[in-house]
């Protein structure tokens, strides 16, 4: 009986069915909080805060720029997030909207995030568009955020 209760509680905690709205506080390029609820943007991955990119030999803080873009787009605006699942840390995974557009899609289409194919194929068209137009990180060289977290860094050929 105890095992059945634990299994039930586990699954109850992993499903959120949440619709949250309010002013967003920006944690990083793909994580926000609304009313104390931490939310990770579904299907995308942005560079980490300390991550850098390179354009024509010049290093720049693309992680900071992705975070700042999200901050500018949401500043003082109502953000609505819809999600059903939580990650292993209990953070809601959601699509978020402001002024009628999908923030997840916009981050990818502006080149500040990659489509996180491991979890969703939804934003691949926006990534292809950003890459072709050389927007955001696509203006130069970068390491995919999931590889960067595993320790991969830009080669130091310059």
pLDDT in tens, 87-115: 999 999 999 999 999 999 999 999 999 99
Q: Which two tokens stand for residue 28?
A: 């990083």
- Band of residue 156 on the pLDDT scale cut at 50, 70, 90: confident
- Across-strand partners of 31? 28, 40
Average per-residue pLDDT in the chain? 91
Beta strands in 46-113 (DSSP E): 53-55, 58-60, 78-86, 92-98, 101-102
CB burial class (10 A; 0-12, 13-18, 19+) of residue 77? exposed
**More confidently predicted of 55 and 17:** 55
What is the CATH number assigned to the segment(s) 2-111+120-148? 2.40.50.90
């Amino acid at each position: 009986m105890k095992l059945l209760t634990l299994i039930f509680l586990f699954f109850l905690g992993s499903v959120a069915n949440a619709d949250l709205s309010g002013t967003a506080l920006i944690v990083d390029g793909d994580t926000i909080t609304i009313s104390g609820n931490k939310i990770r943007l579904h299907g995308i991955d942005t560079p980490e805060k300390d991550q850098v990119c390179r354009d024509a030999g010049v290093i720049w803080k693309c992680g900071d720029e992705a975070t700042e873009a999200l901050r500018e787009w949401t500043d003082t605006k109502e953000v609505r997030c819809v999600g059903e699942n939580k990650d292993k840390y209990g953070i809601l995974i959601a699509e978020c909207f402001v002024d009628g557009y999908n923030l997840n899609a916009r981050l990818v289409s502006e080149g500040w995030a990659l489509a996180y194919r491991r979890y969703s194929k939804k934003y691949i068209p926006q990534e292809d568009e950003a890459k072709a137009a050389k927007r955001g990180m696509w203006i130069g060289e970068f390491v995919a955020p999931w590889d960067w977290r595993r320790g991969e860094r830009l080669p130091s050929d310059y």
